[in-house]
Amino acid sequence: MAEPITRRRAMTIMAAAAGLPLISFAGPFAGAANAAVEPVVWKGQALGAPATLILNHPDPAKARTLVARVVSEVDRLESVFSLYRQNSALAELNRLGALAAPPGELVVLLETCHDAWKASQGAFDPSVQPLWSLYARHFSTPGSNPAGPSRQQLDETLPLVDFSGVRFNRDRIALARPGMALTLNGIAQGYITDRVVELLQADGITSSLVSMGESRAIGAKADGGPWHIGLGETEDEATPDTVAAIIDRAVATSSANGFHFDAAARFGHILDPRMGSVAPKYRRMTVIAPNATTADAYSTAFSLLEPDAIRAIVDAEREISVDLAMVSGERLRLGRPVDIR
């Protein structure tokens, strides 16, 4: 039987307006010159996981308004991209095979998906959902073959996986064949992270770390130093194997160890849309990029590509850095230099 889907245990946004630290500093050594206002703290659920938003702002009322705006925007975007909300725009598209007057964000994200699909020569493909569903059904069936779906089942499903069969513009989205379906799980968290960053920046936030599945920094920390992001194979790993230092950059990590369909952990959730399940090439794939949407998409795509193919894309993009750990234990860093320890 398939393992339950695990989500990141905590999503955190720490933000401060210009001139203020990320958290208040109170105590016997806090002087009047550096005393901070009490931060506004919100705790709740976002993207199906516990979430915390800590905002330091000189105007508490304005801070509460901004917090409410961020929470509302995340919820609204979930209603567009979520596979788990039956009334989401994406769920309706998958159910009906077409969607008239689609939300603008869905069209924009599909355009970004097309760019990543083309650059990766099909390794990144949101139309992989029928293949994902096949593995989920198979391993959720009692007594299922531990070797996975049959060759016949794969041959029947793979023709449904083809992003060239997704037609979209501002007026309509349509799937070319019955049975096709999309998932945006390999890019939507990054897009939502970037949208939160836009809201914070528009309201004067100059120092922030937004972590909503993927991480993105606004500026540096209050002391001028970089943000430090732990990189590990699993989402809740207590001791990361590497730490990346970033300023105004985004980080996304993919690993086959994040979720397995089967108890024996032979079939991971990163499925190759071109051929079905494949043995993982990497223990961890981390991409650092100017925005979280790009980092999210390429961390998924690169997990299925050979190092030479990754290097070619990174060289063309120029603004991307990659830190990967192969199954063999070998480490490789590609692209723009970044402080990784």
Q: What letter represents residue 185's amino acid? A: N
Q: Rounded to whole angstroms, how far apart are CA atoms 13 and 70?
A: 10
Q: Where are the beta strands (DSSP E) in the chain?
A: 11-17, 40-46, 49-56, 98-100, 166-168, 172-175, 205-211, 215-218, 227-231, 242-246, 250-254, 282-289, 321-326, 331-335, 339-340
pLDDT of res. 234: 55
Q: Which residue has the higher pLDDT, 128 or 228?
A: 128
In a domain, 157, yes or no: yes
- Please, which pLDDT band fits residue 190 given cuts at 50, 70 and 90? very high
Number of domains in the chain: 1
In a domain, 124, yes or no: yes
Task: Record the tokens describing residue 149, joined without a space.
Answer: 């779906």
In a domain, 133, yes or no: yes
Instruction: Tell me what percent of the residues of the chain surpass a pLDDT of 70.
Output: 87
> Mean pLDDT, to the nearest integer, of 174-199?
94
Q: Write out pLDDT tens, residues 278-336.
A: 788 888 899 999 999 999 999 999 999 999 999 999 999 889 999 998 888 888 898 87
In a domain, 323, yes or no: no
Distance of CA 47 to the CA centre of its chain: 11
In a domain, 329, yes or no: no
Q: Where does 32-84 have alpha helices with state H?
A: 60-81
In DSSP terms, 167 is beta-bridged to: 174
In a domain, 305, yes or no: no
Domain extent for 97:
89-175
> Mean pLDDT, to the nearest integer, of 203-215?
85
Contacts (Cβ under 8 Å, ≥6 apart) of 210 = 13, 15, 193, 196, 197, 200, 216, 217, 218, 292
Give the CATH number of the domain where residue 153 resides: 1.10.3980.10
| 3-state secondary structure (DSSP) of residue 245 | strand
Please answer whether residues 135 and 58 qualify as being in contact, where contact means their C-beta atoms are separated by less than 8 angstroms: no
Q: Write out pLDDT tens, residues 21-63.
A: 665 433 333 333 344 467 888 887 776 777 888 888 888 888 8
Whether 6 shows a pLDDT value over 70: the answer reads no
- Closest residue by Cα to residue 15 from 45, 54, 68: 54
pLDDT of res. 37: 64
> Mean pLDDT, to the nearest integer, of 3-23?
59
